[in-house]
Structure formats: C-alpha cells, structure tokens
Structure 1
Amino acid sequence: MAVNFVLMLTEKDVTIPDALEVYEKLAVDSLRNIAFKDVGADRQMVQDLTDAAHADGRSVLLELADMSDRGQEQGLQLGVDLGVDQVVARWRADFADALATDGAPEYWPFLGSLSGSPLVLDSTPDELAAQADELSRVGGVGGFVLMPYRQSAFDAVALVERASAAATLPVLVAGGVRDAEQIDDIAGAGGWGFTMGGAALAERHGDPESVSRRVTEIMRLCEKVPARQSGATRTEEKVK
C-alpha cells in the first residue's frame, strides 16, 4: 500500500464510548490498523477492543493525550498492560529505555513541541528535521508521529517532507486529515501514513454503516496514491 491508514476511534481527542461497538460493525477486511487514546478510555472496553483487533490480525496503537508527566507515565503503563503494538507519547528517553525490551509496545514519540488542548505544534521545520534525524538513531524508537495540520505558521506538507526526509523511521501524520488531497500530499511528502478519527466517524449515530463506507473509500485512496522514497519505505514496515 502506498500510504497507510490508522483508524482513530476518537472524537475531539477523546476515545469514543462506543469504540468497541463501532469496531465490531466494521466490514472492511483491508483495514490493518486501529487506534484510540488514553483519555476517555474505559479500561475493560479498550482491553476488549485490543483483543478483538488482535484476533482479527490488526495492529493497535495507543496515543497518550494526557500530556502531563503523571498522565504520560500512567498511559505508558496502560499500553503495556493492554498489550498494544505501539504507544504514542511525548519524547522521553526513559520511555525509549522502558520499551526497548522484547514483547513491549513500540515507542512512537511525537515530533516537535506540543501545547494546548487540542494539541498545537510549536516547532519549526528545522527543529522537526533535527529531532527526526537524532531520534532515528535512538534504540527503542519505532517511528514518529507528526501533527503538521495542528499549526498555521508553516506549510503542513513541507513539514511532513522535512521530517520524513530526515527520519529513517516511519512518520505517521496525525490530527486534521480529512480529505483525498491531504492523503495524496502526505504520501507525496514521504509520510508513512496518517490517522483519521472524527471525519470517519461523524455520521455513525444516524447511519451505523457509514463508518465502513468511509473507511472503504479511504483504503481505496490509500491504494491509489504514489509514495515517495522516504523513511517509510527505506525501512521494514513497522505496523502490520
């Protein structure tokens, strides 16, 4: 696949309460990756969701939305306890050390400085490229998450291009991806993939089958777009 899609079972940076129900109604065999966040996550529900996705041969990513030190530490432990495949968190060297063990989730740190709620990216292109280059050489790091559409100071596609060119690990674009043009841009800029949550889930209450239709269309778009040589394709695929 030219670019990878991660379905976020979230809205407004919170895991939706009906995430398991939505997942169980999905009728899209080609979808390989799902995700949810620590905020709003009912412990038993997300355990059942993780187990169901794994039973279906899918990969599970947990994004830590609570950016406080305590929240990040609790979220990391949640990811380990659930047995997810990737944990997305702030960059912390101790997290890389903790997850650099056999059987632990992969650590995919956010690139750049983030603040606010919802999160806003505050870093420059040069800062993002330098961090991507540096952390690509750190043991325990499996990939990166970049939020280029959560800022307005720089061209979002240029940020993806700079980070992807500097990284030798996959770069996953998160936050604000809504349409085919963005998907094409992300692939062309060298991004490994992208997440989408609310834009894929918005009509589910009135039309439960809308999620499957939307995901099917997104997967079709992913298969069509050309991918540029990047950290996403120079390395062995990290997410199954």
Structure 2
Amino acid sequence: MDFIFMLTRQDRTVPDCLAVLEEIVPLGLRHIGFKDVGVDAQTLHLLNQRIKALGAVSYLEVVATSPDTALHSARIGREIGVDRLLGGTQVAETLEILAGSKVDYYPFPGTPTGHPTQLGGDELQVEAHCAAFIAQGCAGVDLLAYRAFEADPLALVRAARRGVQGKTLICAGGVDSPARIAALREAGADGFTVGSAAFDGTFAPGETLTGQLKAILSCV
C-alpha cells in the first residue's frame, strides 16, 4: 500500500512547502502531493518540479469548492505536469481538460462538501460512482473515507473497492494512526494520504515531522 505524503495542513498547502520538501529528502518518499490552495501557481509549479526531480510521483488534490475553481485547478495540474490529479467531482469536464496529457485522474466518489472537505453519501452511491468513473476512463478514485458523516468509513472503502475493481483506490483525510492504516489495507485500499496528522504531530506524539513520517513508513 502506498503512502502519499501531502505537504498540506487543514486542506491547504503549507506556505513553506519547498523548505519542508528539502527537509524530508533523506527519507526517500516515493509519493508526494499538495493541494490546489494555500500557495500561488508559481510555487506549485516549482514544488512539482522538485518532487519529480527527486524521482517521486507527484499529486495535486483539488479541494476548490466551486465548479469553476475546481476546473481551473485541473488546468493548473495539467499545465505544471503533475503525475496524478486527485479530487473534484466534474469528471467528464476534468477528463476533457486532461485529454492528451500524461496526468492520471482520481475523482471524489460520494458527495464531498465544504472546506476542509467532508463526505456525504452511502455505500450504494459510492460504489455506483466508482464504477461510473472507471467506465469514463479514470485511473481510480480518491475516497474521503474518514471524512464520512453519513456512513461507516470502512464500509465505504469496501464499496469503493467493489466499484473500482482492479483500478486504484486511494483514501484521503483523517488517516492519523497505525490502526487506521491497517484497517484501510484490510478493506482494500491501494494507497492513503497523510498531511495534517504529520504536521500536527498526532500520528506519533512527541516526534518531529521526520519522526512522524518514519512512523507512517513503518506501517507500510
């Protein structure tokens, strides 16, 4: 299962993201991402370049709350050349923006709302969304499992697993303990993101950011 470290806190890219990235270089992380809010487009461009120069897969997660801004973020993702675009719900329009590029798309199933984003929707909806997204040509989905407020998070993971079948299931948000990582693995997730839990020190209390990331890596 892949650990995707997000240079984000409370669904925003941290202002010192470039400096933090340099701090964690020795860890050799293979999957690193950021959000579409918190810093300007030029910083996102530089950040993406540096992540890829390190040999890691780069991720941009869209958390913009309006259709226009979400599609604008998808355009930024294509322009700066991220490897994987996460989030958003306007699947057809986003796939059209990404057409002809090398960017893989993983939209949000269910009903995401607000910022920081919460997830509405039940198992049937999530499974149906996942199946439809894969049929449209998405590489997988980005499920906000532990942000769910209308269903059991792990039931949603299992439903998403059924819907995506052999494609990639990433779980984002609220992954703040070894127990949750183990539960996601058992339920069928292929990867998970951690941002705030590492920056806030909640994953491994008392540890530095580097210590937090080492503790997460030890789980995978």
> How far 1:186 sits from its partner (Å)?
0.4
Report the 3-state secondary structure (helix = DSSP H, G, I; strand = E; otherwise coil) of the residue aligned with 1:60: strand
Give 4+ residue runs of structure 1 displaced > 6 Å after superposition.
Answer: none
Tell me whether 1:99 sits opposite 2:107 in the alignment.
Answer: no
Give the match's secondary structure for 1:25: helix
Q: Which moved more, 1:15-24 or 1:152-161?
A: 152-161
Q: Shift of residue 67 of structure 1?
A: 2.2
Name the SS for the 2:21 alignment partner.
helix
Kept in 2: contact 1:112–1:127 (CA 8 A): yes
Q: Is the 8 A contact 1:67 1:90 kept in 2?
A: no
Residues 6-44 of structure 1 deviation map (CA, whole Å, 9 limit, x = unaligned): 101111111100111001010212x11111111112222
1:164 has 2:161 as partner: yes
Provide the TM-score with structure 1 as the length reference. Answer: 0.84
Matched AA of 1:163: A
Does structure 1 conserve the Cα–Cα contact (< 8 Å) formed by 2:147 and 2:174? Answer: yes
Partner of 1:145: 142
Distance (Å, rounded) in 2 between the aligned partners of 1:64 and 1:95: 11
The answer on whether the counterparts of 2:91 and 2:133 sit within 8 Å (CA) in structure 1 is no
Q: Do the aligned residues in 2 keep the contact of 1:157 with 1:185 (CA within 8 Å)?
A: yes
Tell me how large the CA RMSD over aligned residues is.
1.5
Deviation at 1:100, TM superposition (A): 3.2
Structure 1: give runs of 5+ residues left out of the alignment.
Answer: 204-208, 223-240
1:58-108 Cα deviation digits (max 9, x unpaired): 01111111121110121011111111111122232121233232x331111
Amino acid at match of 1:153: E
Rounded Cα–Cα distance in structure 2 between residues aligned with 1:78 and 1:98: 10
- 1:154 is aligned to 151
Q: Distance in 2 between matches of 1:149 and 1:38?
A: 21
Does the C-alpha gap of structure 1 residues 9 and 149 become closer, same or farther in structure 2, counting only changes over 3 Å? Answer: same
Compare relative contact order (CA 8 Å, sep 6+) and give the higher one, 1 or 2: 1
How many angstroms apart in 2 are the aligned matches of 1:42 and 1:96? 24
For residues 29-40 of structure 1, what are the structure 2 equivalents within 5 Å? 29=28, 31-40=29-38
User: Residue 11 of structure 1 corresponds to which residue in structure 2?
Assistant: 9
Q: Superposition pairs for residues 12-51 of structure 1, below 5 Å?
A: 12-26=10-24, 27-29=26-28, 31-51=29-49
Distance (Å, rounded) in 2 between the aligned partners of 1:21 and 1:166: 39
Distance 1:174 1:105 in 2: 19
CA deviation after TM superposition for structure 1 residue 190, in Å: 0.5
Alignment of 1:212-227 (within 5 A): 212-222=210-220
Give the fraction of aligned pairs with identical amino acids, expressed as a percent: 32
**Cα distance, 1:151 vs. partner?**
2.2
Normalised by the length of structure 2, the TM-score is 0.91
Provide the aligned length of Structure 1 versus Structure 2.
212
- Cα distance in 1 for partners of 2:90, 2:31 equals 22
Alignment match, 2:204: none
Given that residues 10 and 16 in structure 1 are in contact (C-alpha distance below 8 angstroms), is that contact kept between their aligned partners in structure 2? Answer: yes
1:60 corresponds in structure 2 to 58
Deviations 1:165-224 (CA, angstroms, capped at 9, x unpaired): 221311111111100000000000000111010111125xxxxx82222112211101xx
Secondary structure of 2:124 counterpart = helix
Please name the residue that 2:209 is paired with.
Answer: 211
Query: Unaligned stretches of 5+ in structure 2?
Result: 202-206
Contact kept, 8 Å, 2:126 with 2:159, in 1: the verdict is yes
Among candidates 82, 94, 115, match of residue 113 of structure 2? 115
Distance 1:43 1:116 in 2: 22
